[in-house]
Amino acid sequence: MPQFPPVEFLTSSWQPRQFPADQGAEVAFAGRSNAGKSSALNAITGRKDLARTSKTPGRTQLINFFALNEQQRLADLPGYGYAKVPEKMRDHWRQLMGRYVETRASLAGVVIVMDSRRPLTDFDWQMLEWTGAQHLPVHLLLTKADKLSRSESMATLKKVRTEVGEGVTAQLFSAVAKTGVDEARKEVLKMLNAEPSRAPDSVEG
């Protein structure tokens, strides 16, 4: 199993003006609150406690940044689609994530985490629209694949790949069974090491 470079917590941001310096390369993780995003991030980085996991979805209320080195970072975006969060909070998250995706010049790609039993929700499609408009590389992680039979999981993967079309990659993943961890690591590192494709934009808080 390939090793992921050491990763350390950098900062949390409630407003765009609190984002780290917009330089180098950054890969963001997005997904519904109960899709297993934190577990996926921990499994890929090889850190049990990098991202906070909780039995209460919606705990990630800020954008959390993690540094691999001075020029490479990961960003854990707030989990979306959690009904018990107040509408005002949901609006703030939506604006924060929209601003991040639309203006972050160092954003090299996005990993969208979705439950393989309930893939491509309305929120997932909204994220795909945001990233598509910015011509960002996107990799889909179909998590909790261990909850499906092999035939069910392969059928789901084929269906998702067909629906999203070319330009978006997808794979099966299970943090529990360690399914697809190597593949996911390679995709994240490939995004981080690719040539930047976007010009810096001004970000105001």
- Contact of 51 with 64, CB cutoff 8 Å: yes
3-state helix, strand, coil in the chain (%, to 5): 35, 25, 40
Cα separations in angstroms, 73 against 4, 9, 30, 66, 162: 12, 10, 15, 5, 31
Average pLDDT, the chain: 88
- Measured distance CA(86)–CA(84) in Å, rounded: 6
Which CA distances in Å does 105 have to 22, 24, 41, 204? Answer: 6, 9, 22, 14
Q: Are 124 and 114 in contact (CB under 8 A)?
A: yes
Q: How confident is the model at residue 169 (pLDDT cuts 50, 70, 90)?
A: very high
Confidence (pLDDT) at 171: 98
Residue 185 has pLDDT above 60, yes or no: yes
**Region 156-164 average pLDDT:** 97
Identify the pLDDT of residue 2: 64
User: Quick one: average pLDDT of 177-193?
Assistant: 96
Give pLDDT, residue 84: 63
User: Which tokens go with 179?
Assistant: 């399914």
Determine the pLDDT at residue 19: 95
User: With 70 as the cut, is the pLDDT of residue 22 above it?
Assistant: yes
Give pLDDT, residue 8: 93
CA distance 26 to 202: 17
Q: Kindly report which listed range (38-42, 54-58, 179-183) carries the lowest average pLDDT score.
A: 54-58
Q: pLDDT confidence of 196, banded at 50, 70, 90?
A: low
* 120-159 per-position pLDDT tens digit: 998 899 899 999 999 999 999 999 999 999 999 999 999 9
Highest mean pLDDT among 87-91, 164-168, 184-188: 184-188
Helix, strand, or coil here: 16?
helix
pLDDT tens-digit readout, 47-85 = 988 876 555 545 557 899 999 999 999 999 988 765 566
